[in-house]
Amino acid sequence: MKNRIVSEFLRKYWTNYLWGTVFLLLCVSMEALSPRYLGIIIDLLKAPVVDTHQVMRYVGRILLAALGVFATRFIWRYFIMGNARNMECFLRMKLFRHLQQMSVDFYNNRKTGDLMAYAINDIGAVRQSFGPGVSLILNGLGMGLISVFSMAKSVNTRLTLFALLPIPFVVFIIVRLGGTIQKRFRTVQKNFATISDRIQENISGIRVIKTYVQEEDEVGRFDVLNDRMKQSNINMVRVSSILTPLIQIFFGISFTINLIYGSSLVRAHEISLGDFVAFNGYLAMIMRPVISIGRIINIFQRGMASYKRLGEIFEVEPGIRDEIPPSGSMERLEGNLSIRDLSFRYPGQEEYALKDININLKKGRILGVIGRTGSGKTTLVNLLLRLYNVEPGKILLDGKDINEYSLEELRENIGYVPQDNFLFSDSIYENVRYFNDRYSDDEIKSAVQSSMIYQDIMEFPDQFETQIGERGANLSGGQKQRISIARAIIRHPPIYILDDALSAVDTRTEGAILKNLKREMEGHTGIVIAHRISALRKADEIIVLDHGRIVEQGTHDELIDQEGLYRELYQEQYGQEQRENMENEAS
Amino acid sequence: MKHPEQKQHSLLRLLKMSRPYWKVILGCVVCVIAVNGAELYKPLVMQKVIDDFLVADKPQHGFSSIPAMGALYMLLIAGSSVLSAVQINSMTWVGQKIITDLRRTVFSHIQRMPLSLLDKYSSGRLITRATNDVEELSEMFTDVLIDLFKDVFLLIGIVVIMVRLDWQLSLIGFAVLPFIFLITNFMKRKMKANFVVIKRLTGRINGFFAENISGMKLVQIFNMQREKEGEFQELNDEYYRASLTRLMLHSILRPAIEIFNSLAIALLVWYGMGRIMNHTLDIGVLYAFTNYIKQFFDPINDLAEKYNIIQSAVVSADRIFEILNEEDSLEDYDSGMHLERLQGEIEFRHVWFAYEKEDWVLKDVSFRIQKGQTAAFVGATGAGKTTIINLISRFYQVQKGEIRIDGVNINDINLKDLRRNISVVLQDVFLFSGSIRDNITLSNDISDETVAEALELSCADAFIDELPHKMDEMVMERGSTFSAGQRQLLAFARTIAHNPAIFVLDEATANIDTKTEKLIQKSIENISRDRTTLIIAHRLSTIRNADMIFLMRKGRIVESGNHESLMELGGYYAQLNAV
């Protein structure tokens, strides 16, 4: 899978690398010309009679070469580095698309922060490999080969060999020290991550810290990490700071060899003064790419590691997918639901989350579901929405197996109000219509009225355009829940699912919303899941779940009369007095 | 504690932070000058070899010989290499000192920020300030500071040597400089604009990505994949275009400077040629000049690059100082009356409060809770119940009226003492990473017996005894392995262990199963037995036994009394109970 992604990219854009390499080689060879020209000029100037015409020609050539280098360098950078940017955006889009297909199960096992690291760090590291990494290698190879070749060919082979003698040592040192530097660099990064985690935790828990007056202790604990971070940085620099000086010393030997041996060759008339000067120029040219070897290794190691991690993510197949190719037709369901002998275990779990569930819900009826935490209520919803795979023949909608609907079609027909109230950082308006422009403003207004949030919205200064901050920070839990409800109502779906959707609103508002919902749900099928019995008032039928099984079933009155779990829950939640109140209301 | 430099440019303020280390920095400057000297002397050695021994063929003896020159050359390189290693290490030490101090300052500053300020900055922003933004500055101190010296000295040194060697040639060499400055200046302006765009886009892309992951379940259930993908594609494309612009700008600037480098050499040769012919100029000098010209451009390039670092350092510094500048509003832990142990009598006197301007959340609220009583606050969402908690702990300041505890205005009580005496348990219980024990003691010196007793009284012992490591079980992922109810019980244990005079509870509305709910009720009973207790209630069933019930509506207390008297009153409370 991962190989496919890069090869897919390369197949599409390989010509960029081809042209990039061509221009890079052109660029390097032109760069290698100028030490040669300078050498020739020096020789011309040294002659007893200076041929000014010749000198000017070479001066012109130096300028031409410089212009050529400028143009070709711009072009190769555009091709190679630009392609790396292209790659970055390509990968990011791919990752985004891929993540959108991943099932809830996938997200349960991974933290948002970790997934973000893929999008930011890993894609960045891959880009570094494909851009600067590739160009440094090509540039270094080209530059080194052409310089050595020019030195040996046009100056003197023996001198070249002597002068290049220290280079293998340089490479050895870079590789050796490079390893140590990287190890220490990783320690620095680890310490930085620890510090970041600590700060993040501290800020998230700042209220507790303030309540218990822990500020100074927190600073004390932070100091320890902070000092560790400092020390690791100093340790790293202790090694990295000697790398470049060491390289310089070894190259210094090369320069000195040229100075002593090279000048003796000049005096012996084996090479000209110009050759001697050009040789010095070439040495300087080789030095730069050699120094960057350490950086290249680093870039590629990081790139490879990131590439592997990305590959692992891309290899995860979407857990839930359409069994049949989506037909594109979007049928509106009637809303008859039947569940037959449904049992379900979460992947990797031994215990059944649901066992032998049988439900028959006719169009227009409202089913209440109640049970303690962990009794399987939310699992039931997860399966109805096909957030997890269901065996064929277990859940039928309008008599057809839910696996035979496309995901889009299935979910389009369900109006879901979740337990947690996640809102996008956008306007209230967008959060109600959910980025879907087929709803008119009137529809939006009527939806928010039904969910009892209209008044609140009108009281905000920007009304519908009010921006919802970081995870909806400026709204209360109840307000967020009511927006979530409006979001479901606006679609007028054949099936409503309310998953404990009224937990954060007070009982009074709850009553009003339920009343409106009852009206909205007229003729629609509804599944209302709740902890509080008060939220089930409008249900036609109620099932009681316990440890994944339906233990009781019936209307409120029937269930109250049974000496079972429902009655127990009821009594826990309402005292004797409350019960009287409720019966008063009913009568 | 006002700093006069508050309005000062961030860069200057950053530089001032290095003042305590001036001795080390001075040492580094000396090293750098020595290194520069060696760098500058190298071409002169070369020139001497060329002119004396290769062109003129002077006799070699003693120091004036090619091998001696070679040895000198090598010595210069070795010496400068050692010195630069020393300098880098020292400067890193200085830089790390400054950065570590700064990080600590930012962190402890955040600790002292009042909630009103913390709300203003999102948590994500604060985290970035204390981590990435501080880190962004470290390069500024370790590299830039000293390299600026280095580059400037090198430039000056080159100019001096060139002029002393031959002032006419120097003028020719410098002729190209104005063009370079013009180009650099022009390009820099473009780059800066582009830099801002890219930074903004990166932020938006990351934000969008993270939010989409958090809300993925909804995206899928509501079939929004296509819309979201389209939005993302747009952002991504915009970023691509901006990054290409960045690439092109960078591909032009440096190579353009190199063209001028070649142009300068061309000019030198063209002019030097005539003088070499009439023997007023040595070839070695001309060659040295070409070397110096090359060296001359290196520090210029370098300065241009350092400019980028400084630029992003200034951005980060601005953001850090923005936070550090909020000095006046910091919480004051030192002043105020020291009261070791409060009794717990609470009184609100005509309290008015607004989070923003005149948007009153509490309007003329007055009530009194006797020591040891349990009081409950009831009302619709947004009635102002939660605000009362924030005010008692002085997380926010009241605008009008006053709050008294034990008859003392809370503004006069030392903040630390006040908060130590009040324990607040919020709806969403926050657990720190660490063991359960750490979460209860909060790393304070609290004995095991006290912790065990606290666990028992809070009814948390039952589920903790079932954990493999009991009290030493590590809390994973902020406690997400515990249910909301269990987390609440742990928070109660935390409260009991710290034995506050006043206990404030914002009742959880989240899904708590009835069994745990019962434990919670029992636990609340235990806690409230001998201390003043405030409960922000979301359900009526839990507060029936409260000594006082306050009914809030739109920021006012509309009814108060105990359950019986309120039911008798037949008002709002009775109505709520009837639903």
Buried b (16+ CB within 10 A) or exposed e, B330-362: ebebeebeebeebbbbbbbbebbbbeeeeebbb
pLDDT in tens, B382-428: 678 888 888 888 888 888 899 998 888 988 888 888 888 888 888 77
**For residue B447, which amino acid is it?**
S
pLDDT in tens, B4-35: 444 468 888 888 888 899 999 999 989 998 99
Res. B80 pLDDT band, cuts 50 70 90: very high
Look at B481 and B237; give whichever has higher pLDDT: B237
**Domain tally, chain A:** 3
* pLDDT of A262 strictly over 50: yes
Tell me which chain B residues have a C-beta less than 8 angstroms from the C-beta of A230.
96-97, 99-100
Residue B509: predicted pLDDT: 58
Average pLDDT over residues B506-529: 76
Residue B21 DSSP symbol: G
Q: Which of A294-298, B146-150, B346-350 has the highest mean pLDDT?
A: B346-350
Look at A171 and A534; give whichever has higher pLDDT: A171
Tell me which chain A residues have a C-beta less than 8 angstroms from the C-beta of B108.
215, 219, 222
Residue A587: predicted pLDDT: 37
A389 inside 8 A of chain B by CB: no
Statement to judge: residues A169 and A116 lie in one domain: no
Does A290 map to a domain? Answer: no
Statement to judge: residues A419 and A484 lie in one domain: yes
Look at A184 and A578; give whichever has higher pLDDT: A184
Residue A323: predicted pLDDT: 66
d(CA A138, CA A81): 12
* pLDDT of B578 strictly over 70: no
A434 inside 8 A of chain B by CB: yes
d(CA A28, CA A321): 52
ipTM of the complex: 0.78
* pLDDT of B154 strictly over 50: yes
Last residue within a domain, chosen from A442, A460, A492: A492
* pLDDT of A573 strictly over 70: no
The tokens 């007023």 sit on which residue?
B280
**Least reliable range by pLDDT among A225-229, B271-275, B291-295:** B291-295
Share above pLDDT 90 across residues of chain B, in percent, rounded to a whole number: 7
Statement to judge: residues A147 and A46 lie in one domain: yes
Inspect the interface and report whether the beta carbons of A219 and B123 lie closer than 8 Å: no
Res. A579 pLDDT band, cuts 50 70 90: very low
Residue A577: predicted pLDDT: 40
Domains of chain B: residue spans and CATH? 4-324 (1.20.1560.10), 346-578 (3.40.50.300)
Pairing of strands A541-546, A366-371: parallel
Does A374 map to a domain? Answer: no
Residue B31: predicted pLDDT: 92
B178 three-class SS = helix
* pLDDT of B3 strictly over 50: no
Look at B497 and A577; give whichever has higher pLDDT: B497
Res. A471 pLDDT band, cuts 50 70 90: very low
Does A350 map to a domain? Answer: no
d(CA A340, CA A183): 58
Does A458 map to a domain? Answer: yes
* pLDDT of A1 strictly over 60: no
Inspect the interface and report whether the beta carbons of B266 and A59 lie closer than 8 Å: yes
Does A292 map to a domain? Answer: no
* pLDDT of B165 strictly over 90: no
Average pLDDT over residues A338-364: 77
Share above pLDDT 70 across residues of chain B, in percent, rounded to a whole number: 95
Distance from CA of A86 to the nearest CA of B (A): 7
Statement to judge: residues A265 and A226 lie in one domain: yes
Among the listed residues B282, B49, B293, B66, the one whose alpha carbon sits nearest the alpha carbon of residue A46: B282
d(CA B77, CA A256): 10
d(CA A541, CA A577): 25
Statement to judge: residues A83 and A5 lie in one domain: yes
Inspect the interface and report whether the beta carbons of B92 and A241 lie closer than 8 Å: yes
* pLDDT of A575 strictly over 60: no
Closest by Cβ to B262, choosing from A46, A63, A237: A63
Residue A231: predicted pLDDT: 92
Domain containing residue A311: CATH number:
1.20.1560.10
Could you tell me how many CB contacts below 8 A there are between chain A and chain B?
384
* pLDDT of B249 strictly over 50: yes
Strands (E), B455-567: 474-475, 502-506, 532-536, 548-553, 556-561
Residue B30: predicted pLDDT: 92
* pLDDT of B122 strictly over 80: no
* pLDDT of A585 strictly over 60: no
Domain containing residue A475: CATH number:
3.40.50.300
pLDDT in tens, B181-239: 888 888 888 888 888 888 888 888 888 887 777 777 777 777 777 778 888 888 888 98
Tell me which chain A residues have a C-beta less than 8 angstroms from the C-beta of B111.
202, 206, 209, 215-216, 218-219
Last residue within a domain, chosen from A289, A318, A347: A318
Please write down the HEC assignment for all residues of B278-340: CCCCCHHHHHHHHHHHHHHHHHHHHHHHHHHHHHHHHHHHHHHHHHHCCCCCCCCCCCCECCC
Strands (E), A185-317: none
d(CA A331, CA A409): 7
Q: Looking at the DSSP assignment, which residues form a beta bridge with residue B241?
A: none
Res. A470 pLDDT band, cuts 50 70 90: low
Average pLDDT over residues A16-44: 87
Statement to judge: residues A14 and A126 lie in one domain: yes
Statement to judge: residues A80 and A130 lie in one domain: yes
Res. B82 pLDDT band, cuts 50 70 90: very high
Chain A window 51-110: which residues touch B at a Cβ cutoff of 8 Å? 52, 55-56, 59-60, 62-63, 65-67, 69-70, 73-74, 77-78, 81-82, 85-86, 88-89, 92-93, 96-97, 99-100, 102, 104, 107
Inspect the interface and report whether the beta carbons of A210 and B115 lie closer than 8 Å: yes
Does A379 map to a domain? Answer: no
* pLDDT of A505 strictly over 60: yes
Statement to judge: residues A151 and A166 lie in one domain: no
Residue A228: predicted pLDDT: 92
* pLDDT of A76 strictly over 80: yes
Q: What is the mean pLDDT of chain A?
A: 79
**Least reliable range by pLDDT among A14-28, A415-429, A482-496, B446-460:** A415-429
d(CA A354, CA A345): 7
Res. A114 pLDDT band, cuts 50 70 90: confident
Statement to judge: residues A434 and A467 lie in one domain: yes
Statement to judge: residues A313 and A234 lie in one domain: no
Look at A349 and A387; give whichever has higher pLDDT: A387
pLDDT in tens, B524-555: 888 888 889 998 887 677 777 888 888 888 88
Q: What CA–CA distances, in Å, run from A162 to A157, A158, A258?
A: 9, 6, 8
Share above pLDDT 70 across residues of chain A, in percent, rounded to a whole number: 89
- Edge-to-edge strand order for the sheet containing B422-425? B422-425, B502-506, B532-536, B374-379, B548-553, B556-561
Residue B426: predicted pLDDT: 81
Distance from CA of B150 to the nearest CA of A (A): 16
Range of the domain at A66: 1-155+299-318
Probe site for chain B from A96, A515, A527 (most B CB atoms < 10 A) = A96
Statement to judge: residues A40 and A144 lie in one domain: yes
* pLDDT of B431 strictly over 80: yes
Residue A171: predicted pLDDT: 85
Does A544 map to a domain? Answer: no
Statement to judge: residues A49 and A196 lie in one domain: no
Res. A474 pLDDT band, cuts 50 70 90: low
Does A334 map to a domain? Answer: no
Buried b (16+ CB within 10 A) or exposed e, B236-255: bebbbebbebbbbbbbbbbb
